Amino acid sequence: SVKRNWSIHDFEIGKPLGKGKFGRVYLAREAKSKYIVALKVIFKEQIEKYRLQHQLKREMEIQTSLRHPHILRLYGWFHDAERIFFILEYAHGGELYGELRRLGNLCEKQAATYIASLTHALAYCHEKHVIHRDIKPENLLLDHEGRLKIADFGWSVQSKNKRHTMCGTLDYLAPEMVENKAHDYAVDNWTLGVLCYEFLYGVPPFEADSQADTFRRIMKIDLAFPSTPQVSDEAKVLITQLLVKDSSKRLPLEKILKHPWIIMNADPNGTFSKYV
Ligand SMILES: Cc1cc(Nc2nc(/C=C/c3ccccc3)nc3cc(N4CCN(C)CC4)ccc23)n[nH]1
C-alpha cells in the first residue's frame, strides 16, 4: 500500500525494540491492515542540534530507493512537530549480533551463507552507486527464515546488547577510512573480510584494548588466525584476499560469490538451514 500521508494515528505502537542516540525503534502495527512494521522515531531537535538534516535526507533517499531481499525496506515516513517517524520492514529474527554473541561463533555454512547474502546486497548497492553501507553485526537483522537483512540507516544506534566499545569502534573501518582518505566501493569488500573473520572466530580481526592499537593493527594488516575454533583453509584464504591494504587488490564482489569456500558452504537461498 503506497498511501502517502501516514500519521502516528495509523499505527498501534508495541514494545520498544531498541534505542539509539537519536531516538528509538518500536514494534508497531498498521491499524487497518494489521501489518507488522518497525517504527523508528527520531527527535527533530536532536537532528537540528547535530545538523544532520542532510545526512538524514540522503539516507532516506537511499533507503527508499533500495529494493533487495537482503536490505531492510523503508516503506515510508512521516513527521509531527517534534519527531520524524520511519516505517521500516520488521525482521522477526532480531539482531544477527545477538545470535553471534549467543553462539560465540558461527559454523562455516552459516557464516558463508551470511557472507554470500551480504555480497549480493552490496553488489546491488554498488550498481546503484551506493557505497559504505556501514555493515557491522550491529546493523544486521534476521527475518523469520533466518535470512540476513542490512538494517543500517547510517545512524549509530546503541542497542541494549551492543559492545561497550561500540560507539566509535574502528574495528570495521578499512585503512583508507581510518586514514580518512577518499574511500570507494572497495571499503565494503574490506568490511566483508572483517565480518567473515568475526562470524567464524567471534571477534573482529583487529580487536585491541585501545582504538590506537586497533588503528595500528589495521594499518599493519596485523591478521592472525587463532588455532581454535577450527576454520577451513579456504575461509582463511578468502579473508586474506579481502583484508588487503591496497583497495584495488581486494577480491571483487563477483569473485567472492565464485570463491570455493562460498560455493562449498553457502546455502543458495540465503536461509541458513540449521538442520541439513
Ligand atoms: C528496524 C527493525 C528492527 C527489527 N526487529 C528487531 N529489532 C531488534 C532491535 C532493534 C534495534 C533498534 C535500534 C537500536 C538497537 C536495536 N530486536 C529484535 C528482537 C527480536 N526478538 C525476537 C527473536 N529473538 C530471538 C530475539 C528477540 C525480534 C526482532 C527484533 N525489524 N526491523
Q: Which of 15, 42, 95 to mutate to test the pocket of ligand 1 (most atoms within 8 A of CB)?
A: 95
Q: Which three cell numbers mark 82?
A: 517534534
Q: For residue 274, what pLDDT is reported?
A: 54
Q: For residue 180, what pLDDT is reported?
A: 73
Q: What is the mean pLDDT of each run of 10 residues along the chain (276 residues)?
A: 81 94 91 96 89 83 88 93 95 94 96 96 87 78 94 48 50 83 82 97 96 96 97 98 96 97 92 57
Q: Is 14 in the pocket of ligand 1 (CB under 6 A)?
A: no
Q: For residue 272, what pLDDT is reported?
A: 65
Q: Give counts: helices (H), strands (E), the chain.
A: 10, 8
Q: For residue 153, what pLDDT is reported?
A: 57
Q: How many CA atoms lie within 13 A of 196 on its CB side?
A: 34
Contact 42, 55 (CB under 8 A): no
Q: Is 71 in the pocket of ligand 1 (CB under 6 A)?
A: no
Contact 155, 25 (CB under 8 A): no
Residue 7 burial by Cβ neighbours in a 10 Å radius (0-12, 13-18, 19+): exposed
Q: For residue 187, what pLDDT is reported?
A: 87
Q: Which of 141, 142, 161, 162 to mutate to test the pocket of ligand 1 (most atoms within 8 A of CB)?
A: 141
Centroid of ligand 1 to alpha carbon of 188 (angstroms)? 24
Cα dihedral value 67, 132, 123, 87, nearest 10: -10
Q: For residue 178, what pLDDT is reported?
A: 79
Q: For residue 247, what pLDDT is reported?
A: 92
pTM: 0.89
Element (H, E) at 237: helix 233-242
The Cα 16–Cα 113 span in angstroms is 29
The Cα 168–Cα 188 span in angstroms is 18
Could you list the beta-strand ranges (E) of 92-138. Answer: 94-95
Q: Is 143 a catalytic residue?
A: no
Q: For residue 276, what pLDDT is reported?
A: 41
The Cα 232–Cα 126 span in angstroms is 29
